[in-house]
Amino acid sequence: MTADEKAGAVAVSPPGPGLPAGRGARLALTALRGSRRFTAPVAAVAVGVVLVLLLQGNGFTSTLVVDMLVYAIAAMSLDFLGGYAGLISLGQAGFLGVGAYGVAIAEVHFFSPWAAVGIGLGAVLALGLALGIVAVRTKGVSFVIITLAIGQVLWGLAFQWVGLSEGDNGIPLTILPALGPFDLNDPLTLRMTVLVVFAVVALLLVTFVHSPFGLSLRGVRSNETRLAALGYRTGLHRYLAWVIAVFFAGVAGVLYIFVNQLISPAAMAFSQDGLLVIMVVLGGLGSIWGPALGAVVIVLFQQELSIYLSRWQTLMGLTMIAVVLFSPGGLWGLVRAAGRRRDALIARLEAGQARRGAS
């Protein structure tokens, strides 16, 4: 059972006995209802403001935040595939690499920076369309294995095909796209652009998830036979989800090379594929925002905690195991649980009010 289905199950269960009504209860009810209505938009605005402020500086913090945002895009794309289509991919870092290498290789061959972006995204889209035919024939564990294989082929090409990819050294990128006053070579403009792209990708994915397509996608995941019997083209659903996820991983890759100005095979290694999956599971599979949170935590682990704790990978691995064992909903699951407790409390208070009104 997924976090979503659990949430549904709890919502329909009786909320418990009604609470006594009174002045205090009325006040509490108003406050809780306000919280239900305003928490999400207020939190969104607050996070946005904090991000914009953090990205102003030129120091370590802004670099860290930009890294988090780039990985968050990749993690959210993976969550769209894993959490909603039920297809967990262990090759997503490979497509991040394709986007980044596409840009870098195109610039090496004297394409203009904007054309290079087009080539990078075009390459990742073409590859996603082609490989999807193979990949979505499988499900579950087999899908994990085949995507792992695909990711490793891509890594192998980046590592061994030195003539194209410069091998282990990677390819540097010196000139970023510019259009009049909008110049990505300016660090602040670049950081703000990453933030905007992050927001757009997140909102697009949330829109997809809540669209009829997203709903039938979840149906395909839960009970493919039934959806197929209802006339849904289940294979096509999985294929589209795959292409969307691969494309956004490529978008993350383009931003990756803009930010780091270098792409090397290390960014596509198996450990990176695993790291993206850990971000998604730690944040909460099937919640879009959770994996973004997971990316924040893992990048913090990687870049901050590693300064104080040399065995941070052990801690990360153990955390992953603990989440799988004890909290399958991940961090976002905790947020959802708090929301459910609040809704249950509101229901109990409302029940109390209704009883008093009746008597």
Partner 1 sequence: MQQFVAQTLNGLTLAGIIFLVSSGFTLVFGVMRVTNLSHGAVYLLGGYIGYSVITATHNFFYGLVAGALAMGVFGLLLERTLITWLGGREMSELLATLGLIYVIDDISLAIWGGSPLTINLPGLLGRSTTLPISGIVYPNDRIFILGVSVVIAVGLYYLLRRTRVGAIVRAGVDDREMVSALGINVRLVFTLVFTLGALLAGFAGVLGGTVLGVYTGGDGDILLFALAVVIIGGLGSFEGAIVGSLIIGLIQNYGTAYFPAVAYSILFIPVIVILLVKPEGLLGKVTR
List residues near partner 1 by CB under 8 A.
88, 90, 134, 137-142, 144-146, 148-150, 152-153, 155-157, 159-163, 269-271, 274, 277-278, 281, 310-311, 313-314, 316-321, 324-325, 328
- CB 313 to partner 1: min, Å: 4
Alpha carbons within 13 angstroms on the beta-carbon side of residue 98 total 26
| Residue 263: strand, helix, or coil | strand
How many Å apart are CA 234 and CA 213, to the nearest integer? Answer: 11
- CB 280 to partner 1: min, Å: 10
- CB 198 to partner 1: min, Å: 25
Nearer residue to partner 1 within complex by CB, 76 or 281 = 281
Nearer residue to partner 1 within complex by CB, 228 or 347 = 228
- CB 139 to partner 1: min, Å: 7
Tokens of 261: 């100005």
Q: What is the torsion angle, in degrees rounded to the nearest 10, for the CA atoms of residue 322, residue 325, residue 328 and residue 332?
A: -20
Nearer residue to partner 1 within complex by CB, 160 or 169 = 160
Nearer residue to partner 1 within complex by CB, 321 or 338 = 321
Nearer residue to partner 1 within complex by CB, 166 or 350 = 166
- How many angstroms separate the most distant Cα atoms in the chain? 84
How many Å apart are CA 73 and CA 247, to the nearest integer? Answer: 11
240 in Cβ contact with 175 (< 8 Å): no
- CB 160 to partner 1: min, Å: 5
- CB 162 to partner 1: min, Å: 7
How many Å apart are CA 295 and CA 74, to the nearest integer? Answer: 9
Nearer residue to partner 1 within complex by CB, 119 or 148 = 148
- CB 275 to partner 1: min, Å: 9
Tokens of 322: 């603990």
67 in Cβ contact with 259 (< 8 Å): yes
Tokens of 143: 């899908």
Q: Quickly list H helices, the chain.
A: 3-12, 23-54, 60-79, 92-108, 113-135, 140-160, 162-165, 187-210, 212-222, 224-229, 234-260, 270-283, 289-300, 306-308, 312-326, 330-358
Nearer residue to partner 1 within complex by CB, 158 or 296 = 158
How many Å apart are CA 287 and CA 5, to the nearest integer? Answer: 12
Nearer residue to partner 1 within complex by CB, 90 or 243 = 90
- CB 88 to partner 1: min, Å: 7
Query: Of how many residues is the chain composed?
Result: 359
